[in-house]
């Protein structure tokens, strides 16, 4: 049996934007209105057992001391109110939507969530200060027969308004268009290569680094992103990472030597943080990582697409060809 086609939607509370119906990495961002609710599963698809369980719990809290039993009419009124609240989880919010192929609604939610998270990671990586939370409320609708599901967070109430609202505008999209075009060819490939999977993970770790508040944890996440891009060895990782970052970042020998020294130190700093050893973070360490890591995700993606690389061995061979007469200093 062929997988079914599904529409997966998540609501995001802390995003507002200017352009209409923008699409990034096959994920569409738009404001959900009641007229667009046709994209959601119909209210009858909400599990009746879940509504009944919540109704009994609600009644018990109210009438436990009286022993009163709820009437059918009370349940129907509760049912109507709760299903309206389901719509309120999406209506008037910025929602993200994508199509996936899946055998059932649970698989559709998982695959849709993965695609949506990748698009959000792209924004978190390349738009400075864009610290979106992951979406919490989701729905999946079968585009063949209309069946579907709505997921809920706990507790079951509408989220409190976020104190921060992030915007996207036309200039953001213009600045991101080149990066998106390259990542589209890797991330949306139905048969991703080992190298494209590495780039996807690097994008994820870089996005987490951008959102992290703690300096030490930021460096852990940024270095992990660079490991996804450049490391296959089990030993000597500091040397290999520093050398490969230096080669791809610049062709100037003096600059390569400086970058090598910085990243050799940063990798060992990361190890000290992870293993609980004493460490000192220099004033510019975070700035170096915040500049280099996001740019290298795109640079490696560009090299991989331009040369049709599918494995890290191909990338490393290419880096070796760019080394020239430069040799890393002894440290």
SS (H, E, C) 11-62: EECCECCCCCCEEECCEEEEECCHHHHHHCCCHHHCCHHHHHHHHHHHHHHH
Task: Let me know if residue 159 belongs to a domain.
Answer: no
> Which residues are within 8 A (CB) of 82 and not within 5 positions of it... i.e. 6 or more apart?
46, 51, 54, 55
Q: 230 and 285: one domain? A: yes
Is there a domain that residue 161 lies in?
no
Spatial separation of the C-alpha atoms in residues 222 and 263, rounded to whole Å: 11
Confidence of residue 172 (pLDDT cuts 50, 70, 90): confident
Neighbours of 51 (CB within 10 A): 16
The whole-angstrom separation of Cα 171 and Cα 183 is: 19
Same domain, 73 and 130: yes
Domain boundaries, position 270: 189-322
Residues 209 and 267 in one domain: yes
**pLDDT attached to residue 291:** 86
- The pLDDT assigned to 253 comes to 96
**What is the rounded distance in angstroms from the CA atom of residue 103 to the CA atom of residue 111?**
11
Q: Is the dihedral of CA 78, 45, 11, 56 positive or negative?
A: positive
Classify 251 as helix, strand or coil: coil
| Tokens standing for residue 200 | 């996807």
**Residues 61 and 118 grouped into a single domain:** yes
Tokens of 262: 């910085």
- For 319, the enclosing helix (H) or strand (E) is helix 312-322
Q: Which two tokens stand for residue 1?
A: 């049996």
- Whether residue 143 sits in one domain with residue 21: yes
Which carries the bigger pLDDT value, residue 82 or residue 230? 230
Q: Is residue 171 part of a domain?
A: no
Q: Which pLDDT does position 183 carry in this prediction?
A: 86
The pLDDT mean for the chain works out to 82
Write down the pLDDT at residue 151.
Answer: 73
* Cα–Cα distance for residue pair 179/199, rounded to 1 Å: 13
Measured CA to CA, the distance from residue 110 to residue 14 in angstroms comes to 22
Residue 214 domain flag: yes
| pLDDT value, residue 45 | 46
pLDDT of residue 317: 97
Which one, of 131, 116, 126, 173, lies nearest residue 301 by Cα? 126
Q: Is the pLDDT of residue 41 over 80?
A: no
Structure tokens at 85: 């609240």
- Whether residues 92 and 32 fall in one domain: yes
Residues 6+ apart with CB under 8 A from 312: 194, 195, 198, 230, 232
Residues 137 and 228 grouped into a single domain:
no
Q: Are residues 11 and 144 in the same domain?
A: yes
Query: What are the tokens at 210?
Result: 């951008």
Beta bridge partners of 89: none
pLDDT at 240: 97
For residue 174, being part of any structural domain is answered with: no
Residue 51: is its pLDDT beyond 70? no
Q: How many distinct structural domains can be found in the chain?
A: 2
Most confident of the following: 92-96, 161-165, 189-193, 302-306: 302-306
């Amino acid at each position: 049996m062929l997988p079914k086609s599904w529409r997966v939607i998540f609501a995001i509370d802390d995003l507002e934007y200017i352009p209409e119906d923008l699409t990034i990495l096959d994920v569409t961002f738009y404001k959900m209105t009641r007229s667009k609710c046709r994209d959601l599963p119909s209210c009858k698809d909400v599990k009746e057992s879940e509504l009944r369980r919540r109704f009994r719990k609600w009644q018990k809290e109210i009438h436990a001391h009286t022993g009163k039993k709820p009437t059918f009419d009370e349940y129907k009124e509760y049912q109507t109110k709760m299903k309206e609240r389901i719509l309120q989880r999406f209506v008037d919010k910025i929602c993200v939507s994508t199509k996936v192929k899946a055998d059932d609604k649970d698989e559709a939610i998982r695959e849709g969530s993965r695609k949506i998270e990748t698009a959000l990671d792209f924004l978190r990586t390349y738009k400075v200060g864009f610290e979106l939370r992951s979406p919490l409320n989701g729905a999946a609708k079968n585009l063949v027969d209309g069946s579907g599901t709505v997921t809920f967070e706990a507790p079951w109430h509408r989220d409190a308004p976020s104190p921060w609202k992030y915007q996207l505008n036309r200039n953001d999209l213009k600045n991101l268009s080149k990066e998106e075009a390259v990542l589209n060819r890797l991330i949306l490939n139905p048969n991703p290569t080992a190298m494209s999977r590495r780039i996807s993970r690097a994008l994820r770790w870089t996005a987490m680094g951008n959102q992290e508040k703690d300096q030490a944890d930021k460096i852990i996440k940024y270095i992990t992103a660079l490991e996804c891009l450049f490391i296959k060895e089990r030993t000597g990782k500091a040397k290999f990472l520093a050398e490969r970052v230096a080669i791809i970042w610049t062709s100037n020998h003096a600059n390569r030597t400086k970058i090598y020294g910085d990243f050799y130190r940063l990798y060992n700093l990361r190890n000290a943080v992870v293993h609980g050893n004493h460490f000192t973070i220099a004033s510019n360490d975070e700035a170096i990582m915040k500049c280099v890591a996001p740019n290298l995700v795109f640079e490696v993606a560009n090299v991989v697409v331009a040369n049709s690389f599918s494995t890290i061995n191909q990338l490393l061979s290419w880096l070796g060809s760019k080394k020239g007469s430069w040799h890393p200093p002894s440290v």
